[in-house]
Amino acid sequence: MISPNSIDQLLNAAIIEDVVGDYVNLKRSGSRFKGNCPFHDEKTPSFTVTPTLGIYKCFGCQKGGNSIQFLMEIENLSFTESARLLAKRYSVDLVETNVGNKEEYEESQKLREGVQSINDFAIQFFADQLHTQEEGKNIALPYYRERGFTLETIKKWQLGYSPESWDAFYKAASKAGYKDEMLKSAGLIKQRDSDGSAYDLFRNRVIFPLIAVSGKVVGFAGRIMGKVENAPKYVNSPETELYKKSDFLFALYQAKNSIKKLDKVLLTEGYTDVITLHQSGIENAVASSGTALTPGQIKLIKRFTNNVTVIYDGDAAGIKASLRGIDLLLADDINVRVVPLPEGEDPDSYCKKLGPDGFKDYIQSVEKNFIFFKAELLLQFAQNDPIQKSEAIKDILQSVAFIKDTLKRTTLVKELERICDVKEEVLAQELGKLLRIGLVQDKKQLFADTKNVVNLFIDEPVVVALSDVHQEIAMIRTLLMNATKQFDENQTIFDFALTEYMADESIQFKDPFASKFMNELIKPDGTFEWPGVEYFIHHTDTEISSFVAGVFSNDHQLSPAFLDNMIYVKTEEDNYRDELISIFLNIRRTKIEEIILSEQFKLQQPEEQHDEILEYLDFLNTVKIDIANKLGNVVSRF
């Protein structure tokens, strides 16, 4: 467990726009920064960073919090792991204790830490084998040099070598104290079926470390040296606690700053392609590692840019087979352009042939919109066959249908009229069919999802107790914004709210979060004291700190037209007293309505005293009307 003082020091030292900026392309907006949320797909940025408070908040998916919580979410870390990572970055000494926090030592966290430790050991082992051992210097270094990699590049990318011996790494790791089970969990050794003995997964291979966007090594890729029967050319780490192939892009860590600066990413296939481009000064290149693009990889791309240029090797048949994966980019509102290379060339070879400047010029001169590229390619394969041409056009329009922007679709269809030699009206009609089909499928999915959440076939009636979650949350929000302001000359807003809350036993918050928050304010002896906003921003409970981040990131402003036309409207700052009164009245009214429903249910029971119930209901309705009248005199947003 990390001491609260250490957490405060860390969060005060951490520059949240820098922490978040490693993962999100932020743009200044007044005193804040905005960008596309890294936690969900969105077209319009709803993700806000507020440096003065050290918080982030997404108003789309509602995630928010401080720097520690951001790293927890983005890297799937525990609170302690995230804090340690930030502390190392900002040179803050953490004071840790083992008091009452055994959850941090759960098995899954131990496994993550163990795998990370082994990966850190392995990357150093492979580098040492390359630079200090004769085998590595004689076999692997010549390979890297043949690829044109300089010694500076080799060290920058932490390239390495795994010896030909069956168990060189295994012996070194075992000697260093790593157990077999943990080495298997890290995916660095395997066991023979015959006798269970261990051997190195990457033996006799040059090593390309797989570095996550956080800078941590999460796995490895190895290319075989020489020809070995039945041995694959490349071997990748299996999926582990740290490495998920579908959520990884090679070189994104090295490329992210350049991608943000240029607002564009170059997407290639191979490791050597990317390293060659970076060495040539083209540093916004990443690789999909030879796999079709996945939603996880696209989510990574969208953290930094909405502009992707796909560089295809010069193989028309191979390009045609890979087109379908691009539709996922279009569906995520990403602008996709394509650069085809000449027959027999790949980014590595062609960049070397043209030189860095020549390759950059080539990209700029030949890249084209993906839809136009796909149309020209498929129509080329269709040649003059009308049936094949018809199928090709449907395939092209299917990609257009993934684009959400109506104006973009309309513009593309106009240009496709020329490319396809088909009238715009016909193309638009066919596209309309595809869009309607997609809309129907979306609605069916929505109904299916709703049916899973709400059981529409309940045989017996269910009595649901009323609650007023909005009012409960509104009270917390009002306290956060106005706790220290004066309610009247004798008490603050906080004093008034807690006195009312504790004095009225009928007020029982039903929302779990609201109850948890109010319990934070009340001491074991029943007294209460406002701890300050920073207490909640720095709170180790991510739900609390995230909520607070949302409160202080939400910036509502009246239109200047109100002032220009001399229209006075009470702002939230002016209105906090009335709003707090309104909240309590609404909560009490809800309680009254809940009792009324309960008493009305009793009227259906023959054994109950109906006259007494009716008399009580009359009284409750009188109280309800009185509250409603009071609410009519209070201007409230709720």
pLDDT at res. 564:
52
CA distance linking residue 457 with residue 304, whole number of Å: 45
Query: How does pLDDT run across 197-241, given as a tens digit for each residue?
Result: 999 999 999 999 999 887 889 999 999 998 777 788 999 999 998
6 or 459, which is more confident? 6
What's the whole-number mean pLDDT along residues 261-287?
A: 94
Contact 386, 394 (CB under 8 A): no
pLDDT band for position 115 (cuts 50, 70, 90): very high
Alpha-carbon distance values, 166 to 131, 174, 197, 202, 336 (Å) = 20, 14, 11, 9, 45
CATH class of 4-104: alpha beta
Residue 462 scores a pLDDT above 60: no
Q: Which two tokens stand for residue 117?
A: 């430790």
For a pLDDT cut of 90, what percent of the chain falls above it? 37
Task: Give the angle subtended at the CA of 102 by the CAs of 101 and 107, to the nearest 5°.
Answer: 140
pLDDT band for position 373 (cuts 50, 70, 90): very high
Of the listed ranges 110-124, 161-175, 495-509, 606-620, the least confidently predicted one is 606-620
CA distance linking residue 478 with residue 457, whole number of Å: 40
pLDDT at res. 560:
54
Single pTM value for the model: 0.63
CATH class of 248-366: alpha beta
AA identity, residue 141: L
Q: Which helix (H) or strand (E) holds 400?
A: helix 386-401
CA distance linking residue 520 with residue 482, whole number of Å: 17
454 or 351, which is more confident? 351
pLDDT at res. 457:
30
What average pLDDT does the chain have? 82
Q: Which two tokens stand for residue 616?
A: 């009580």
Query: How does pLDDT run across 136-179, given as a tens digit for each residue?
Result: 999 999 999 999 999 999 999 999 999 999 999 999 999 999 99
pLDDT band for position 372 (cuts 50, 70, 90): very high
Q: Which two tokens stand for residue 136?
A: 């590595």
Strand order across the 217-224 sheet: 160-162, 205-211, 217-224, 234-236
Task: Give the angle subtended at the CA of 223 by the CAs of 217 and 227, to the nearest 5°.
Answer: 160
Contact 211, 217 (CB under 8 A): yes
SS3 content of the chain, % helix, strand, coil (to 5): 55, 10, 35
DSSP label of 247: G
pLDDT at res. 187:
94
567 or 520, which is more confident? 520
pLDDT band for position 558 (cuts 50, 70, 90): very low
User: Strand, coil or helix: what is 220?
Assistant: strand
Residue 637 scores a pLDDT above 70: no
Of the listed ranges 74-88, 92-106, 288-302, the least confidently predicted one is 92-106
pLDDT at res. 447:
39
pLDDT at res. 638:
29
pLDDT at res. 635:
37
Query: How does pLDDT run across 600-634, given as a tens digit for each residue?
Result: 777 776 665 566 667 667 766 777 777 677 655 54
CA distance linking residue 158 with residue 143, whole number of Å: 15
pLDDT at res. 20:
92
Strand partners, 273: none
What's the whole-number mean pLDDT along residues 379-384?
A: 84
**CATH number for the domain formed by residue range(s) 107-243:** 3.90.980.10
Contact 493, 485 (CB under 8 A): yes
124 or 459, which is more confident? 124
pLDDT at res. 500:
78
Query: How does pLDDT run across 292-332, given as a tens digit for each residue?
Result: 788 888 888 888 889 999 998 867 767 777 787 788 899 88
CA distance linking residue 253 with residue 257, whole number of Å: 8
CA distance linking residue 402 with residue 624, whole number of Å: 52
For a pLDDT cut of 70, what percent of the chain falls above it? 83
Nearest CA among 240, 225, 239 for reference residue 165? 225
CA distance linking residue 250 with residue 237, whole number of Å: 13
Of the listed ranges 55-69, 155-169, 380-394, 607-621, the least confidently predicted one is 607-621
Place of tokens 């009002």: 478
Strand order across the 32-35 sheet: 27-29, 32-35, 47-50, 55-58, 64-65
Nearest CA among 299, 301, 403 for reference residue 40? 299
Residue 100 scores a pLDDT above 70: no
Query: How does pLDDT run across 425-450, given as a tens digit for each residue?
Result: 999 988 888 887 765 555 445 334 43
List b or e across 294-309, with b for residues whose CB sees 16 or more CB atoms inside 10 angstroms: beebbebbbbbbbbbb
User: Strand, coil or helix: what is 56?
Assistant: strand
Task: Return phi, psi of residue 132, to 5°.
Answer: -115, -15
pLDDT at res. 471:
82
Nearest CA among 45, 188, 58, 54 for reference residue 114? 188
pLDDT at res. 591:
73
What's the whole-number mean pLDDT along residues 360-375?
A: 93
Contact 606, 554 (CB under 8 A): no
pLDDT band for position 502 (cuts 50, 70, 90): confident
Of the listed ranges 351-360, 361-370, 528-537, 579-588, the least confidently predicted one is 579-588
Measure the CA dihedral 324/325/330/336, to 10°: -100
